[in-house]
Amino acid sequence: MSSIFGKVFQVSTFGESHGKALGVIIDGCPANIPLCHGLIQKQVNRRRPGQSGITSPRNEPDKIICLSGEENYRTLGSPLTFMVMNKDQKPEEYKKNNHIFRNSHADFTTYQKYGIMASSGGGRSSAREAVARTIAGSVAHQMLSHFLPAIRILAFVSRVGPIVAATNELVADEQLQPDQIDAHPTRCPDQAVQTAMLEYIEELMTRGDTIGGEITCVIRGLPPGLGEPVFDKLNSDLAKAMMSIPAARYFHQGNGYESTYHQGSENNDPLSVETNTGNIIYTTNKAGGIEGGISTGAPIFFQVGFKPPSSIQHQQSSVTKQGIPSTYSLKGRYDPCVLPRAAPIVESMACLVLADHYLRQKIQSWIPFKESRS
């Protein structure tokens, strides 16, 4: 009931942060899709701890193991299963504080819900659970690319605390490449601010503090027609997917945050006929590529806000499981800012939503999908 996502492209994830393994079954991926393990591993690596000076140094190789569902690097139509073994779990370190409910963590609520907790670390609420999301997201991405070769899905850091990148320009940049995002440890491709962001984070690390911010995701090459008109709107399923990432605190569709301050006459996106193709297109795209819950064919973009990680290294007062006021301070490894590692998770969750809605639209489709515009 807790760890299954999707209606027809269904992923089922498992694994505690400090247990034996984490993994995922992907049930519903069509057969005969070429599947490159290297691409999956690459996306997993982008989420790995220890990848830069501003991420937790927990040393997990996160080497993916495929247990089922493919042969000769093509999908069989049967459930695909992947897992990674935990290597550097150090549950002892967590056990030191595990009698205390950590502030702004899931400890207290997990205990309230289940009456039991994994003895070491965050169980299912750990950010480590997202390794399964990146595996599944990469499979979804590869399936989408097989059917829609023009598709491009990119997420980047658009703000760290108060330091803001030129987001509108980055969204509009059709030439933005994944390498530009990964070229900097912040995963912010705006060269004008990335150094300031990095220094800001490094300064916080000296004080054991953390910072929030925002990720922006842009999807190009998706045809019109994806998404359902009432509850399972493409934007509502994206919102759910994004808000399910640990520490996510807001979701903005397109220019939607600004638009709520605007008048209709300023905000409407007009339709027109594209000169060279004769296609009907939206001349502007304040809606972020989705109208009435259904993709328009224009680029989809949205922002996801993340709170600062709760695991600061200051001494904090809280309460033990026995209800005794107490203090604690987390020493060990920590992430001063989740954003650089959250970018691939945002991409992965977007891929899961799109893969599901793409396959759902295959049921409905009255005409072959038209080529999409970017």
- Find the binder of a copy of itself among 34, 53, 71, 73 (CB under 8 A): 71
* Nearest approach, Cβ of residue 179 and a copy of itself (Å): 27
The residue length of the chain stands at 374
In Å, how far are 137, 165, 208, 243, 306 from 252, measured between CA atoms? 21, 16, 30, 11, 12
Positions 158 through 217 that interact with a copy of itself (CB under 8 A): 159, 161-162, 204, 209-214
Stretch that binds a copy of itself, among 134-142, 149-157, 167-175, 266-274 (CB under 8 A): 266-274
Helix (H, G, I), strand (E, B) or coil at 11: strand
Q: Which is nearer to a copy of itself, 180 or 343 (CB)?
A: 343
Beta strands 290-291; 294-295: pairing state: antiparallel
Residue whose C-alpha is closest to residue 144's, from 307, 298, 369, 316:
369
Residue 3 as a binder of a copy of itself (CB under 8 A): the answer is yes
d(CA 69, CA 81): 7
Backbone angles phi, psi at 91, to 5 degrees: -60, -25
- Find the binder of a copy of itself among 49, 56, 58, 69 (CB under 8 A): 69
Positions 73 through 92 that interact with a copy of itself (CB under 8 A): 74, 76-81, 83
* Nearest approach, Cβ of residue 51 and a copy of itself (Å): 21
Residue 114 as a binder of a copy of itself (CB under 8 A): the answer is yes
d(CA 122, CA 337): 18
* Nearest approach, Cβ of residue 90 and a copy of itself (Å): 16
* Nearest approach, Cβ of residue 297 and a copy of itself (Å): 7
Positions 288 through 347 that interact with a copy of itself (CB under 8 A): 290-297, 305-312, 314, 316-319, 323-325
Residue 60 as a binder of a copy of itself (CB under 8 A): the answer is no
- Whether the CA torsion 230, 235, 239, 242 is positive or negative: it is positive
